[in-house]
């Protein structure tokens, strides 16, 4: 059974001085023996000074590298055997940490705080997260309640195995979740209520919309590329066959469009097959149940 002294808490923060000034005392009170590390990601406000004032460890990036980069910096600096990731905007409640610890003690490698629909920042983001969760659930054949949540407790050693996969941006939760599923590690979700953040979010739907759409493809390619590419290949094959039947019975000839669709189907399938083999090589060591020190 883990205790607070076994935990390193990693908090990425950019211009969160106001939120941290009220959040850190609550966190320190809840987790008195834990290692608290704030990654100051190139803030232009008093984030670093606020952290020092409250006696927590702070690591400052000379310029903003991104949320994922901050998490990786914190993971490398953490000295305890269990890591808890939290946002620095005050949305995650320290009182939920004991619940995450209790669930983690049941034998999971990672437990994720799953936000309720009421906790989503806006309707558009709730719809996007719903799509991500549905796709991830289909890919993994497991129930994924919140693919993009930044609040989680995880085995530090296993987490570091996948640091090289994590992007520097905001999609690190997606990447690490799918990596754990692909490696065969146990993942569970615990419902939480995220508070409304004070101030403006650093995520812009107009700026990051395309980036978030790419998450859908990353989910597939991280877990099982062929499971994503095969339906696309099959769809083009069916379209090609349907168009061939139409032109044959209507005009008694085989058209170039049918050829293009059939060829595209084969290319997509081969890309998925090659990607599947590459994925197997990437996870060769970490997916083995006999990998030492797991």
Which ranges of 172-255 does DSSP label H, i.e. alpha helix? 172-183, 205-223, 225-251
Strands 57-61 and 152-155: unpaired
pLDDT of residue 24: 95
SS3 state of residue 255: coil
Burial 173-205 (b: 16+ CB within 10 A, else e): bbbbbbbbbbbebebbbbebebeebeeeebeee
Residue 203 reports pLDDT greater than 60 = no
Radius of gyration for the chain, computed over Cα atoms and rounded to the nearest angstrom: 22
Residue 105 reports pLDDT greater than 90 = yes
Give the residue carrying structure tokens 């001085």.
Answer: 17
Over the stretch 162-194, which tens digit does the pLDDT of each residue have?
A: 998 888 877 789 889 988 998 889 999 999 988
Q: Residue 48 CB: number of other CB atoms within 10 A?
A: 17
Give the residue, 292 or 155, on which the prediction is more confident: 155
State the pLDDT confidence band at 106, using cuts at 50, 70 and 90.
very high
Any idea how long the chain is? 294
pLDDT of residue 124: 66
Residue 148 reports pLDDT greater than 60 = yes
Over the stretch 250-262, which tens digit does the pLDDT of each residue have?
A: 888 888 898 999 9
Give the chain's mean pLDDT. Answer: 86
Is the model's pTM score more than 0.85? Answer: no
Over the stretch 62-100, which tens digit does the pLDDT of each residue have?
A: 999 999 999 999 999 999 999 999 998 888 999 999 999
pLDDT of residue 292: 45
Residue 133 reports pLDDT greater than 50 = yes
Over the stretch 2-58, which tens digit does the pLDDT of each residue have?
A: 999 999 999 999 999 999 999 999 999 999 999 999 999 999 999 999 999 999 999
Overall average pLDDT of the 140-163 stretch: 91
Residues of the chain with pLDDT > 90: what percent?
A: 56
Which ranges of 31-141 does DSSP label H, i.e. alpha helix? 47-53, 67-77, 97-104, 123-140
Overall average pLDDT of the 277-281 stretch: 82
Neighbouring C-alpha atoms within 13 Å toward the C-beta of 222: 28
pLDDT of residue 294: 42
Give the residue, 122 or 268, on which the prediction is more confident: 268
DSSP string computed for 20-61: HHHHHHHHHHH-TTSEEEEEEES-SSSHHHHHHHTT-EEEEE
Token output for 195: 């508070």
pLDDT of residue 206: 54
Residues of the chain with pLDDT > 70: what percent?
A: 87
């Amino acid at each position: 059974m883990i205790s607070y002294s076994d935990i390193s808490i990693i908090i990425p923060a950019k211009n969160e001085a106001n939120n941290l000034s009220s959040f850190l005392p609550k966190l320190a009170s809840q987790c008195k023996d834990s290692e608290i590390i704030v990654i100051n990601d190139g803030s232009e406000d008093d984030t670093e000074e606020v952290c020092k004032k409250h006696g927590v460890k702070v690591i400052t990036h000379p310029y903003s590298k991104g949320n994922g980069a901050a998490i990786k910096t914190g993971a490398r600096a953490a000295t305890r055997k269990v890591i808890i990731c939290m946002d620095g905007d005050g949305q995650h409640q320290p009182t939920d940490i004991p619940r995450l610890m209790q669930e983690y003690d049941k034998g999971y490698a990672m437990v994720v705080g799953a936000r309720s629909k009421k906790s989503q920042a806006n309707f558009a983001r709730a719809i996007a997260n719903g799509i991500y969760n549905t796709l991830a659930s289909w890919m993994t054949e497991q129930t994924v309640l919140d693919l993009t949540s930044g609040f989680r407790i995880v085995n530090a050693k296993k987490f570091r195995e996948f640091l090289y996969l994590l992007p520097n941006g905001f999609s690190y939760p997606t990447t690490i979740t799918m990596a754990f599923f692909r490696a065969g590690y146990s993942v569970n979700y615990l419902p939480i209520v995220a508070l409304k953040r004070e101030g403006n979010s650093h995520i812009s739907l107009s700026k990051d919309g395309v980036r978030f759409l790419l998450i859908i493809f990353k989910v597939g390619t991280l877990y099982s590329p062929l499971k994503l590419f095969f339906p696309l290949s099959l769809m083009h094959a069916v379209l090609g066959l349907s168009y061939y039947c139409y032109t044959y019975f209507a005009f008694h000839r085989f058209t170039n469009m049918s050829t293009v669709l059939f060829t595209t189907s084969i290319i997509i399938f081969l890309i998925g097959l090659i990607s599947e083999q590459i994925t197997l090589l990437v996870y060769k060591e970490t997916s083995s149940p006999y990998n030492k020190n797991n």
